[in-house]
Chains A and B, each alone.
Chain A
């Protein structure tokens, strides 16, 4: 129970701090991100949701072994839509990793398909 309360409270505090900083940054000027966004996407509620999503993705990166300060920077470099596209999926999305000799396997599959095509049709 306690960790949940602490976690919720800290999330709320982070959100408040970030909302405050947004407020001062955009004084009176309409931003580029507001142009394509549908009406309502720039409401405080939506802003709050994206901030919480950023916090979630950051802790998901940390769970994958990224250190906390790097995780914060990495989430900061993503756009809101990128954040929501990876949220909750970090363990399932494609992660380029293999060393490269594998392409021969790809080629092997193609050869197999050609052989199959010529043999059976």
Chain B
């Protein structure tokens, strides 16, 4: 049976048929996204693309998580093999890898992982932008699941095919419909891994800030600063990124750098309480307590949810001023 289907699918015309199947109204229920792509190709999206320089690691038994993640990480510039990632994502008891850990593991290596929106179009857009996409597929037939991670690296609209690094296949071509159907059960789960500073083209501002903040917790100051700077380049008015960048610099003792990041954030959002509070703290640490006090006063006019933090910062400043006066 499998041999037969394999032989049939070697026939490109039949494979394209699965894409054409999107014409049939019934298929729109089974593979709605493919159907939609067939009706209207997204504006500004290339007709075909393939990410260059994506390495191929033939998968060893059960290790599709480490293999897929190593493929994506290496494509993003990391020196890593699937074997290096076994200790980071593989769960012996489950004989597999959890989605959360696929997202978490790149962070300690200084990379930013981002879960895409559950849209085939976004996967294609990332590929067109040169970013390999890890997808979680389910090959099981109800009620059984057979989860598998693969890396989508290319697509071709005319042939209706997606190209993937999958298991032991370096260039596995699958019809859009086949990818969508096997992808559905995971809630259309997919992720990209990118070096800090390189923002996914389909990124959503708030969710990308979360992704960067998550990476910044464990990635080290240099990578964290680069990631926040990249975010600010795309969304210059993002208060969270300004706070994050300033905190990273503050944490590594760079007070002048922290002040600069906060001031440039305040240029766009002059009344953002977290920026004012943190600026007051930095100024006070620099010994400029008068200026710090004026800044915290400005913040206290509209404290929002940060009244307690503001009061604490103000106390610190007053205490330091008292000490300075006593000398």
Seen from chain A, the residues whose Cβ lies within 8 Å of a Cβ on chain B are: 25, 27-36, 39, 61, 63-67, 70, 73-74, 76-79, 82, 85-86, 90-91, 93-111, 113-114, 117, 121
Contact = CB atoms under 8 A, between A and B. Distances in A.
Contacts, number: 211
A64 B94 CA distance: 7
19 contacts: A25-B251, A28-B284, A28-B312, A30-B273, A30-B278, A31-B243, A34-B309, A70-B88, A74-B104, A79-B213, A94-B96, A94-B136, A95-B94, A96-B148, A97-B147, A99-B64, A100-B64, A100-B172, A117-B27
A94 B91 contact: no
Given A31-B247, A85-B100, A100-B148, 7 more contacts: A77-B107, A90-B98, A94-B99, A94-B138, A96-B102, A99-B148, A107-B18
B186 A94 contact: yes
Contact of B146 (A35, A90, A105): A105
A64 B240 contact: no
Contacts of A77: 88, 101, 104-105, 107-108, 218
B103 interface: yes
Given A35-B243, A91-B94, A110-B181, A98 B99 contact: no
A60 B37 CA distance: 42
Given A34-B274, A104-B6, A110 B178 contact: yes
B5 A79 contact: no
Contacts of A70: 87-88
B236 to A, nearest CB: 17
B305 interface: yes
A40 to B, nearest CB: 9
Interface in B194-214: 206, 209-210, 213-214
Contacts of A66: 87, 91-92
B2 interface: yes
A105 B141 CA distance: 8
Contacts of A74: 88-89, 101, 104-105
Contacts of B217: 79
A111 B15 CA distance: 10
B141 A109 contact: yes
Contacts of B68: 96
Nearest to A109: B141
B188 interface: no
Contact of A64 (B93, B137, B239, B305): B93
Given A28-B281, A106-B137, A79 B214 contact: yes
Contacts of A96: 64-65, 68, 96-97, 99, 102, 136, 147-149
Given A82-B104, A103-B174, A35 B274 contact: yes
Interface in B238-254: 239-240, 243-244, 246-247, 250-251
Given A30-B309, A100-B168, A117-B26, A106 B139 contact: yes
Interface in B133-180: 136-141, 145-150, 166-169, 172, 174, 177-178
A110 B177 contact: yes
A39 B65 CA distance: 37
Given A74-B88, A111-B5, A98 B148 contact: yes
A101 B3 CA distance: 11
A106 B147 contact: no
B148 A97 contact: yes
A51 to B, nearest CB: 14
B137 A103 contact: yes
A32 B27 CA distance: 44
B213 A29 contact: no
A27 B284 CA distance: 12
Nearest to B219: A77
A46 B317 CA distance: 28
Contacts of B87: 66-67, 70
B277 A30 contact: yes
